[in-house]
Amino acid sequence: MTALVIHGHFYQPPRENPWTGEVERELGAEPYHDWNERIHAECYGPNAFAHIVTPTGIIEHTVNNYAQISFNFGPTLLSWLERHHPTTYERIREADKISAAKFNGHGNAIAQAYNHAILPLCNDRDRLTQVLWGIADFRYRFGREPEALWLPETACNDETLEVLIKQGLRFVILAPGQARAYKLPGETEWHPLPNGEIDTSRAYRYSHRDGSGRSIAIFFYNGPLARAIAFEKTLVSSQALVGHFKQAAIGGGSLVHAATDGETYGHHFKFGDLCLAHALLLEAPEAGFTITNYGQYLDRNPAEIEVAINNGLEGEGTAWSCAHGVGRWIRNCGCAGEIGWSQQWRGPLRSALNYLRDQAALEFESLGSEIFSSPWTTRNDYIELILDHGRSREEFLRRHRKRELSPADEACALTLLEIQRNSMLMFTSCGWFFAEVSGIEALQVMKYAARVIELMDELGMPSPRARFLEILAEAKSNLPEMGTGADVYLRYAEPPVSPAPSVAEREATLS
């Protein structure tokens, strides 16, 4: 029997207005209010209740697809589902419990870096916080420790893997092109892998560069199978899907596996959820496949072959959706866009946000060191309050304070932490993924930047706004009427004329 693992990466960027906490109407999502609602109707909900029907139309089975596949959900998406579609949310959590009982304690769910920032492009401090917040969110929702963490866009370099190793994670999923070389047990010679031509039917061991012997397992998914599912209309029938499973199994090996966006199953391809349910519940087992997940597979097939990864241009990393390393999130790499358009704006947008992040960090350290015993430890722990609005703010601050705090000090402390939360959200990857600096995704990260600047102003910090706009003005729109990134920011991202609620007022409405 060949092990079969299908991984779904379910994710949407955070869409909430930073001042209200609510998702505003998004015109492209009609007839739904916004894209979260539309994709829930087409994918997240249907995969929780996939119907297998008889030829006469009678429902024979209702399948929770999440109990059949390996999966991760973006933490910010799970937060939205918890509030707006609790039945789907509970089916997702239930699927992890069902799979853990079935697969010797290994649940199907894995964690994800918190708000889908490109981790190799983060500074060391932010990379760690993204991982810690993702782990904490997983623990809060699934009631256990994660075995793995999904790297947004599978973006990876050595520094990123070493953060995962330090946090005790067991495995990670990467694209085959991210493998650089392998070394067999007992050998000293590395064997190069041109074009990522690695055998994907096994797990590999990546060792920390410090020589400590610490390691993490890497699963490089089957590229042709993943492409067939995501782009080649394989989901038109379950027979076609299982046919691709069989093709992938030719030549032996103990594992066939693929990773794609979870939205493939129902949103990108209508009825993809039903195809997946039929294939995994009925036809794949009949064809000789054992449905499992990565955790159980590793128990039975430990990673023994050593692997080295491709670190990309100047070590900045590689990813699954860009042939230019992580160029899609930092420069005009040529991916995406209309003919004749340029994505030159990506660099200035990132530079502007990096500048704002760094200025906010300096002020956080300066003022935060007067309030917190350890400002950055406090930021890492702030996820506790983000996840549980009923949790005592006073108790949290007592635990992290440097001295007795007045009510004004407490308000200042929470505002400092909100500045940092919005600083993290500024780097959500979708802000760079598409073609245009005035798109809703780039505009959303600019809104988080506007919130950072506003909160810094509230605390009387030196304003970074002028220099931020100077850098952003270098981002040229492909639409003449939009001007530059600075024009887009001033027109659409800055807060409304009426005063936004303070952090304390916002906390009161969420409690």
Q: Kindly compute the dihedral angle of the four CA atoms of residues 138, 142, 147, 150, in this order, to the nearest 10 degrees.
A: -40
User: For the chain, what are the domain ranges?
Assistant: 2-170+219-302, 331-510
The pLDDT confidence band at residue 499, using thresholds 50, 70 and 90, is very low
Round to whole Å and give the CA distance between 58 and 56: 6
CB 244 within 8 A of CB 6: no
pLDDT for residue 448: 98
The residue type at 347: G
Cα distances (Å, whole numbers) of residue 363 to 38, 200, 366, 376, 456: 40, 47, 5, 12, 9
The values of phi and psi at residue 47, to 5°, are -70, -20
Across the range 343-354, mean pLDDT stands at: 98
Which tens digits make up the pLDDT trace of 264-281? 999 999 999 999 999 999
The residue type at 467: R
- Please give the share of the chain, as a percent, with pLDDT higher than 70: 97
The pLDDT confidence band at residue 335, using thresholds 50, 70 and 90, is confident
In sequence order, the 6+-apart residues with CB closer than 8 A to the CB of 213 are 207
CB 277 within 8 A of CB 52: yes
The DSSP bridge partners found for residue 308 are 181
In sequence order, the 6+-apart residues with CB closer than 8 A to the CB of 503 are 411, 414, 415, 418, 455
Closest CA to 422 of 16, 12, 136, 23: 16
User: Where would I find the H helices in 63-181?
Assistant: 75-84, 86-102, 124-142, 158-166
E strand map for 292-336: 305-309
The whole-angstrom distance between residue 409's C-alpha and the CA centroid of its chain comes to: 34
User: Exposed, middle or buried, 122 (CB in 10 Å: 0-12/13-18/19+)?
Assistant: buried
Round to whole Å and give the CA distance between 262 and 33: 21
Which tens digits make up the pLDDT trace of 437-485? 999 999 999 999 999 999 999 999 999 999 999 999 999 999 999 999 9
CB 193 within 8 A of CB 182: yes
Pairing of strands 204-207, 215-220: antiparallel
Taking the CA of residue 209 as centre, how many other CA atoms within 13 Å lie in the half-sphere pointing to its CB? 9
The pLDDT confidence band at residue 436, using thresholds 50, 70 and 90, is very high
Which tens digits make up the pLDDT trace of 17-63? 999 999 999 989 999 999 999 999 999 999 999 998 877 778 888 99
E strand map for 423-468: none
Across the range 97-124, mean pLDDT stands at: 98
Tell the CATH topology of 2-170+219-302: 7-stranded beta/alpha barrel (3.20.110)
Residue 506 pLDDT greater than 70, yes or no:
no
Name the pTM for this structure.
0.95
Cα distances (Å, whole numbers) of residue 238 to 52, 83, 230, 233, 263: 12, 33, 14, 11, 17
User: Where would I find the H helices in 116-271?
Assistant: 124-142, 158-166, 223-231, 238-249
pLDDT for residue 510: 43
The residue type at 410: E
